[in-house]
Structure 1
Amino acid sequence: MTKPNFTKTVCALAVSTALTSPILLAQEQSTEKKGLERIEVTARKTVESIQEVPVAVTSIGEVELAEKGISTVTEIQQMSPNTTLQKSRGTNSTLTAFIRGVGQEDPLWGYEPGVGIYVDDVYMARPQGAVLDILNVERIEVLRGPQGTLYGKNTIGGAIKYVTKAMSGDTELAVKGTVGSYGQKDIKLSGQFPLMEDKLYLGFAYANLNRDGFGEFLTSALDGQDRENYNKDLQAYRLTLEFRPSDDVFMRLNYDNTEDKSNSKGGFRLLPSMLTDAPVPDSVYDSYTSLPTWNKVENEGLSLTVNWDINDNFLFKSITSSREGYSPTNIDFDNTSLRIFDVPAIYDDEQFTQEFQLNYQTDGVKLVSGLYYYKGDSCGQYDAILDELGISLGLPGYTSEVGGCSNSKSTAVYMQGSFDLTEKLSLTAGARYTKEEKDAEVFNAVYFGTMYPESGWVPGFVRDETLVAASQNVVLDDNADWSRFTPKLGMEYQYSPDMMLYASYAQGFKSGAFNPRATTAEPAADPEIVDSFEIGLKSDWNDTVRFNATLFMLDHKDRQYVTLIPDPDDLTINNQRLGNVGKSEATGAEVELTVLATDSFEWYATLGYIDSKFKQVKSVTPDGTPIDITDQFSITNTPKTTANLGFNYTINSSMGDFVVNGNYYYRSEYSLVEKGNLLTQDGYGLVNLGVNWYSDDGQWTVGLYGKNLTDEEYLVGNYPFVDVTTPPYSTENPGPGTGGDTTLIGYYGDPRTVSLTVGYKF
C-alpha cells in the first residue's frame, strides 16, 4: 500500500487554483477561440446537450477515448468524480462499480448490482463480462445518482451507458495495431459497407487483445499450468445491420460476442501462510495456487432497435434484446499450493428485455414514457474446498458445495416530463412503477474429500454424480414479489442562455434478493432504497470555460447484508443470513471544469468529495440476541476525494497534426473491507501521458501512451479471511480464519505500461 506522490494539501491547492482562475485565464488569451464543443447525451433517453440536462453526467467521446489511449471502461473512473470502476478479484472481465458510495462488491449470482450497465440502452444484469473493451464506441456516459425513474431497478448509485457508433453510409475500413509493455499485442478491425445504397448497411468490429502477465504463479500444485498472472487473452466482435426504409424509420440489429480466456488472477498474500511455505511474494503481481490457472468469461448479446418518427412531435422506439453469459472460473482464496480455501465455480446467466418508448416534444414540453419487461435467470455453483481443515479434523479432506438459481421477472411503466413554467423556469416530474417477481433455489452439499464442479476440471478428476445426487440438499425453494413507485421531481432555472441552475429529488431501488449461500429456508431480503437530493449548476463562459458543479445528499435504507451466525458444532462455512440490516448516508460535491485557453490548448479538472458512513448495522449473537455493530462497518470503494487534472495540446505542422495530452488522477484513502477495517488503501496518484499524430490526409494515426508512469501500487480488491476478534488476535495481529490459515489477499491495479498504436483508414 503506497503513499500519494503529493499530499492532499497540494492536490487541494492545485484543484482550487484551477477552479478560481478559469475566467481570468480565458480572458488573458488574445487569440480568437473556436469555442467549446457541444456534447450531446441521452441521459434522459432523448438527445440533448449535456449543458441542458439537469443530471450529473460525464460524457467521454470517441476522439477523447482514442487520444488518451483508453482501452477499457474501467479507465473512465478517472474522468468522473466520485466514481469507482475496477476489475474484480478473480478475472479481467468482472466489474466492480460504485458511484457516490453505492454499488455491489460481491458478483455472486442472486446478488444485484447497484450501478446499472447499459450497451446501446440494453441493460446488462450481471457484472461478469461487464469490463467492456473500447470497440466501435461513440461515447461513454456516466450518470451519477439514482436513475430509478427512467432506468429502473439497480441504478441506485447511477448508470454507465456504452453507446456504439451509428454508420455513416459510406464504405469504410480501419485497422489498428498496438504493441506495448508485457508483450502487449492488440489488433482491432472495424468497417462498414452499404448492401443497398442509402437503405441497408452492414458494419463489423473485431478485437484480439493479448498481453503477458504482470507477474507469475510462483508455485502450483498442478503440472503443466500456464504460470502467467494478470495476463490478457481476449477476443471480441460485433456485427451490426442498419436499415433505413424511409426518412422516418430506422432499424438496427446488433450482435456482440466476447470471450476472455485470460488466466484466473492470483492474489497477493499480505500475510505469510501458517500452514505451508507461502511467504509474502516480492511482487504484488506474484501468487501461488493449487487450482488450475485457466479461466473463461463468455458473454454475448443480440438486440433489435427500431426508431419511428411518427411526426414532428412524436417518436416511437422499441428495444428488444437477449443476452447470455457463461463463466467457469478458478478462485484460489488462500493463494497457496495447498487446498486450504479453493473455490472453483460456474456462473451461468440468461436475460431477455423488451422496452417500448413513446417520446413527445413541442415548444415548452418534453415527455419520455415507456413500458419495460425483463426476465433473467441467474444460476451458479461453487465448491469451497477446505481440505486442510478436513485433514486437521481427521477427515480425508472437506468440500462444501453450494449452487442454485435466482430467476426474476420485472415489468414497469414510466413517464417523465419537463415543462416550461415561464421563459426561464421549468419543472421536471416523473415516476416509475415496477412490479417484480423472483424465485430462487439453493442447494448445499458436504463431501469428505475434494470435489470440483465438473469432470475433467483438473486432470483425471471424475465427478461422482451418484454421490452428488445423494448428498445435495435443497435448503431454500421459495419465491417473493415486490412493487415499487420511484418518483423524480426537479426545478430548473435558466438564468441566462449559458447558465442553468437546478434542484432535484430522485429515488431508486435495488432488487430484493434471496441469499445464494443460504443454509436454511430463510426469507428474501426486501429491496434497498436510496433517496437523493441534488442541486447543481451548469454554465459556459464566453464559449471558452465550462463549469459544472453539483451538491448532493443521499439516504440509503434497507441495505442488504449477510449476518454470520457462528455455530461451533456445524462444519459448514456458510452459516449465514441475508437481511436488510444496514443504513447509510452520504453528502458530497462534484465539480467539472473545462478551459479552452486557445484554439490549441485545453485543460480540464474534476473534483469529487464525499462523506459517506453507516448509520446503522444490525446483527445477532449465536443465541439470537440482536446487537448493533455499526462501529465495525465502513463504506468500501469510496475515497473521500477523487481529483483529475489534465490538458490537451494540439500542434499543427507540415508533417501533420500532433496532439499531446496528460493527466494526474488522485484517489484519497479508501476501505476495501466493509467489516472490521481490515484493509485500507492509502491515497495515491496516477500520471498518464499521450502523444498522437494524424496525417494530413486523415488516413494514418499513431499514438504513444504511458500510463501509471510513476508505477504506483494500489489495491482494487481483496479476500479477507482472518480472525481479528478472538484474543489475542486483533486487526494489527490477525489470526487464522476460514480454512485455518491467515488468508488476507490483495488484488492490484495495473503497473506502469507504455504502448504504441498505429492506425490506418482505407
Structure 2
Amino acid sequence: MNFTRTLCATAVTLACLGSNAAVAQDSEGAPEKGKLEKIEVTARRTVESLQEVPVAITSLGEAELLEKGIENLTEIQQFSPNTTLQVSRGTNSTLTAFIRGVGQQDPVWGFEPGVGIYIDDVYIARPQGAVLDLYDVERIEVLRGPQGTLYGKNTIGGAVKYITKKMSGDAEFAVKATVGTASQRDLKLSGQIPLTDKLYLGLAVASLQRDGFGKFLSVPEGQDDENYNKDILAGRLTLEYQASEDLFLRFNYDKTTDDSNAKGGYRLVDSIIPGANAPSPDSVYDSYSSLPTWNKVELEGMSLTVDWNLNDSWSLKSITAKRKGDSPTNIDFDSTPIPIFDTPAEYNDKQFSQEVQLNFVGEDLTFVSGVYYYDAEACGIYDAYLVAFGISIEQSGCTDTESYAAYGQVSYDFTDKWSLTAGLRYTNDKKDGVVNAATRIGPAYPYSGWVDGYVRPDDVGNTVIDDSESWSRVTPRLGVEYQYSDDTMFYASFSQGFKSGMYNPRATFYQEPAAPEEVNSYELGVKTDLSDNFRLNATAFWLDYTDRQYVVNVPSDDLAQPTQRIANVGESDASGLEVEITYVVTDALTLSGSLGTIDASFTEVRSVDAAGNPIDLSDNFVISNTPEYTMNFAANYVLTTGIGDVIFNANYYYRDDYELFESPDPLLAQEGYGLVNASVTWYSEDGDWQVGLHAKNLTDEEYRVGGYNFTGGRDDDGNLLPGLGGDTTLVGYYGDPRTVHLSVSYRF
C-alpha cells in the first residue's frame, strides 16, 4: 500500500467535511469560537490530549452524545471507523462487538469476547446486558487495535470505554423526559448533593420504555405479543470523597433490570415441516413463536476507586470491582407458530477484579504499571427441543476463570522531536471447565415453573468435561513517535493481543480446550491539527491473526445430535486505513467525517471431510461482521438567538456489504446500506433547559444485524438442506426502523 498517496487522496476526498470538535477553550476557560476543541482521553490510563496519544481512538463527549440523540452503545459504531457494535440476535441487550475484523459473534457462556467493554475501567466479561443505555455519561472512547499491554484482558480487537461523570461538588438535580416512536416513554433523573465539604452523594435513575416495532403473531396464551420492545429500569449510586487535594475515593453501585421480551426473528425461507408455514409477516419486525416471550437480564455491580497522588510525579490507583448477572431467555430458533427448534436458556455469571496501578509522570518520562487479578464464573444451561425427534438436547455447566497479570509501559522523549513507547504485559489464565450433556424425552426447561406445570428432573445428565488448563503469555507493545511540529505527530507501533483458551460449553463428548488466540498488529499513523480549525487523524494498519477459535462440525448423519467441536482452525490477516477529519468552517458550522477501509480474509481454515481427511475451507469462510468500507459524514450548525442556542446536527452513515457468520449463506448476507439521521437541540440562555428533536434512519432502511443459520448447507443445485432440528432454519434480526423522539431536560 502506498500509504502517503492513499492518505492524501482520502484527505482531499474528506476535506469538505469535518468528528469530535466543538469550540476550543482559551487559557482562561472562556469559549474561543471557530477553533478546534482540545479533547482529553484516558486511553493510556492517564489523562492526555487526544492528539498526543499514539493510538487509533474515537472519543465522543456528553454534549455530542446528547445533541446527536445517541441513546445506547450500539450507535457509537457510526462514528468509529471499522467498528461493529450491534444488538445480537435473540435479545435486545446482548452485544456483538467487532473491531478491525476481530470479535466474537457467539454469546454463549464460556466464549470470551475479542473486544473489551469497560465501565469506569472495570472490565465487563459477558455480552449479555452489554448494550449499555447511555445516562450519567461523561464520554465514550473506542480504542481500535490490540490493547494487550495496558488492558490485556480480551482486547485483541480493541476496547470500548464507558466513562461516567465525576461530581462537581455542588447540589444539582436534573430530569429528562423523552417520548417517541412506538410509544417510547423514557424518564431519567439524576442529582448530587454535598453531604460535607468533602463527601458527595450522587444518584441517577433511568426508566426506558417502548412498545415493539413489531408483533408476535402467535404466542402461548397469556404472553405479551410485543416484539423488539423495551422495558428497562436502571440506576446508579455514587459516593465521592475528596479527602485532600491528593487523595480521592469513589464508590459506585449500579443495577439494571431489563424485562424486554425475547426477540423474534424473521424467516428468510419457508419451513419444510408440515403445518409450520403460517402467512409470511408483512414486516421484518413481526414474528411467530411457540415459546413464552418473556425474557430477563439482571445486572448488578459495585466498584471502589482510589486515586492517590503520592507527590508531583508519582501516583497510585486502586480499582476494586464485583459484578454479577442473570439472564433467563426464550429463543425460538425456527420462528414458526409450532415448536420445531425451541431453546429456553439461562446464563448467569459473576466476577471479581482488583487492579493496582503505580504511575510516574516526569519531564521526559511517563511510566504506567500495575498488577491485575480477575476471578470469574460463567455458567449456563439450555434445552434445545427438537420436535421432529421428540427430544431435548441439554447442555449445562460452568467455566471458572482465574487470571493474574502484571504490566508496565514507558514513554520516553529522547529528543525534542522523538519519543519511544515500550510495554510488556504478562498474563496467566487458569480455566476450570465443567460441561454436562443430557438427552431428555419431550420438551425440557432450565428450571421448574418455566412454563406452567413443568417440574424439572433432579439429574444434570452426564458430565462430559471436568477439566482444567492454564495458559500464559507475554504481550509486548513497541512504538516510536515523531513530533514534527507542535500540531503534528507521526507514529509507528507494533502490539500484540492475547485471548485465553476455552472449553466448549456445547460439548456432547470429551474435548480438549482450544488454545489461546493471538493477534500481531502493525500501525502507521498521523495526528495533526493542520490549522486552528482543521484536524486530520489517520492510521494504516496490518493484522496477523493466528489460532482463531471456531466451532466446527464433526461430520455426522444424525440430525438429532449436535456434533460441534471448539478448535483453533483459523488463520487470517487484514489491512486497512482509518481517517477522521474535523473542519470548523465558521464560528457556527463544524463539519466532520470518518472513513474506514479493511481487506480481511482467512488464509487457512482447517477441517476434515466425511472420511476424516484434512481439508482447507478458507475459500468458503469469511470474516463476519466486517464490512469492507464504513464511513460517516456529519454537520453541526449553531444558531444563536435571543432565547438561547439552537444546534442542528445531521449525519449520513454507510456500511458496505457484510456477512453475519464466518460460514456464509447468500440469504443472510447484508447488502451495503446508509442511515440518515438529523437532530435539532435548543439550549436556554442560562443552560438550564434543553429540548431535542431527533430523527434516525429517516429513509427507513431495513438491515440485518443478526441471524441464525441451522441449515445443512446447500446441495450441488444450490438448494438448502435440512440441518439441526430437521428444518431449513434461516432467520434474520434487524436494526431499528425510522424513529423520532422528543426530549425535554431541566437542570437546577
Q: For the Cα contact (< 8 Å) 1:635–1:671, is it kept in 2?
A: yes
Deviates more, 1:334-343 or 1:620-629: 620-629
The answer to whether the Cα contact below 8 Å between 1:273 and 1:279 also exists between their aligned partners in 2 is no
Which structure 2 residues correspond to residues 192-341 of structure 1 after superposition, within 5 A? Answer: 192-197=192-197, 199-220=198-219, 222-275=220-273, 276-341=276-341
Indicate how the Cα distance of structure 1 residues 721 and 253 shifts in structure 2: closer, same or farther if over 3 A, else same.
same
The yes-or-no answer on 1:457 pairing with 2:473 is no
Q: Are 1:626 and 2:614 an aligned pair?
A: yes
Once the two structures are superposed, the pairs formed by residues 639-658 of structure 1 within 5 Å of their partners are: 639-658=627-646
Q: Which runs of 5+ in 2 are unaligned?
A: 1-6, 22-31
Judge conservation of contact 2:560–2:724 (CA < 8 Å) in 1.
no
**Counterpart among 702, 706, 726 of residue 691 in structure 2:** 702
Q: Deviations over 1:302-332 (max 9, x none)?
A: 0000000000000100000000000000010
Cα deviation, residue 40, structure 1: 0.3
Is residue 746 of structure 2 the alignment partner of residue 760 of structure 1? yes
Deviation at 1:34, TM superposition (A): 3.6
Once residues 279 and 488 of structure 1 are traced to their aligned partners in structure 2, the CA distance between those partners, rounded to angstroms, is 57
Q: Identity of counterpart residues, as a percentage?
A: 60
Deviation larger for 309-318 or 576-585: 576-585
On the 8 A contact 1:374/1:411 being kept in 2, the answer is: yes
Equivalent-residue separation in structure 2 for 1:13 and 1:94 (angstroms): 39
> Is 2:98 aligned against 1:110?
no
Instruction: Select the residue among 410, 433, 436 that pairs with 2:429.
Output: 436
**1:14 and 1:287 mapped to 2: Cα distance?**
46
Distance 1:335 1:537 in 2: 49
* 1:348-747 alignment, distance < 5 Å: 348-387=348-387, 389-390=388-389, 397-465=390-458, 468-469=459-460, 472-568=461-557, 570=558, 572-678=560-666, 679-728=668-717, 730=718, 733-747=719-733
- Kept in 2, the 8 Å contact 1:139–1:162? The answer is yes
Contact 1:293 1:330 (8 Å CA) reproduced? yes
What do residues 397-452 of structure 1 show as CA deviations (whole Å, max 9, x unaligned)?
A: 21000000000100000000100111100000000001110010000000121111
Q: Deviations over 1:73-128 (max 9, x none)?
A: 10000010000000111111110000000000000011110000000000001111
- Which whole-Å deviations, capped at 9, do the CAs of 1:716-746 have from their partners, x for residues lacking one? 0000112334455x2xx31322212221000
Looking at structure 2, the residues matched to 271 and 571 of structure 1 have their Cα atoms a distance apart, in angstroms, of 19
**Separation (CA, whole Å) in 2 of partners of 1:246 and 1:89:** 48
What stretches of structure 1 move > 6 A for 4+ residues in a row? 12-16
Per the alignment, in what secondary structure is the counterpart of residue 65 of structure 1?
Answer: helix
Measured after TM superposition, the shift of residue 18 of structure 1 is: 4.5
Q: Quote the RMSD (CA, aligned, Å).
A: 1.6
- SS state of the match for residue 76, structure 1? helix
Other-structure match for 1:187: 187
Amino acid at match of 1:609: T
Distance 1:379 1:219 in 2: 31
Shift of 1:519: 1.6
The residue number in structure 1 matching 2:4 is: none
Deviations 1:441-469 (A, max 9, x none): 0000001211111111112222232xx35
**In 1, Cα distance between equivalents of 2:16 and 2:444:** 64
Amino acid at match of 1:217: F
Please state whether the residue corresponding to 1:670 is helix, strand or coil: coil
Q: 1:158 to 1:451 in 2, by over 3 A?
A: same
Aligned-pair CA distance for 1:279: 4.3
Deviations 1:628-685 (A, max 9, x none): 1111100110000000000100000112110000000000111112114442101000
CA contact (8 A) 2:17 2:633 kept: no
Q: State TM-score, norm by structure 2.
A: 0.95
2:17 and 2:591 in contact (8 A); partners too: no
Q: CA deviation at 1:572?
A: 4.6
CA distance in 1, matches of 2:102, 2:584: 34
1:752/1:243 CA distance change after superposition, 3 Å: same
Separation in 2, partners of 1:719, 1:563:
16
Q: Distance in 1 between matches of 2:397 and 2:649?
A: 49
Shift in alpha-carbon separation, 1:595–1:18, aligned structure 2, 3 A: farther
Greater displacement, 267-276 / 506-515:
267-276
* Residue 101 (1) aligns with residue 132 (2): no
Partner amino acid for 1:482? W
Letter in 1 for 2:463: V
How many angstroms apart in 2 are the aligned matches of 1:614 and 1:184? 43
- Conserved in 2, the CA contact under 8 Å of 1:343 and 1:382? yes
The answer (yes or no) to whether the contact 2:156–2:518 under 8 Å persists in 1 is: yes
SS of the residue corresponding to residue 323 of structure 2 reads strand
Distance 1:628 1:175, change over 3 A: same
- Cα distance in structure 1, aligned partners of 2:10 and 2:619: 33
Letter in 1 for 2:414: L
Q: Which runs of 5+ in 1 are unaligned?
A: 1-11, 27-31, 391-396
Task: Show the counterpart of 1:7.
Answer: none
Q: Distance in 1 between matches of 2:622 and 2:34?
A: 47
Measured against aligned partners, the alpha-carbon deviations of 1:234-292 in whole angstroms (never above 9, x if no partner) come to 01000000001111100000001111100000000111222212343221001000100
Conserved? CA contact 1:272–1:278, under 8 Å: no
**Any conservation in 1 of the 2:559–2:725 contact (CA below 8 Å)?**
no
Match of 1:716, SS?
A: strand
Q: Matches of 1:695 and 1:265 in 2, distance apart?
A: 40
Match of 2:161 in 1: 161
Is the 8 Å Cα contact of residues 410 and 435 (structure 1) preserved in structure 2? yes
User: How far apart are 1:19 and its partner, in Å?
Assistant: 2.5
Letter in 2 for 1:560: Q
Structure 1: how far apart are the matches of 2:539 and 2:622? 24
- Cα distance in 1 for partners of 2:446, 2:716 equals 37
CA contact (8 A) 1:204 1:238 kept: yes
Structure 2: how far apart are the matches of 1:712 and 1:331? 26
Check whether the contact 2:522–2:543 (CA below 8 A) recurs between aligned residues.
Answer: yes
Paired AA for residue 372 in structure 2: Y
- Tell me, in whole angstroms, the C-alpha distance in 2 between the residues paired with 1:184 and 1:150: 40
Aligned residues: 727
Contact 1:33 1:544 in 2 (8 A): no
1:171 & 1:289 partners in 2: Cα distance?
Answer: 50
Partners of 1:182 and 1:211 within 8 A in 2: yes
Counterpart residue type for residue 726 of structure 2: G
Contact 1:632/1:677, CA 8 A, preserved across alignment: no
Answer yes or no: is the 8 Å Cα contact 1:15–1:645 preserved in 2.
Answer: no
**8 Å contact kept, 1:15–1:605:** no
Contact 1:416/1:431 (<8 A) preserved = yes
Cα distance in structure 1, aligned partners of 2:635 and 2:714: 49
| C-alpha deviation, 1:621, in angstroms | 2.4
Aligned partner of residue 127 in structure 1, secondary structure: coil
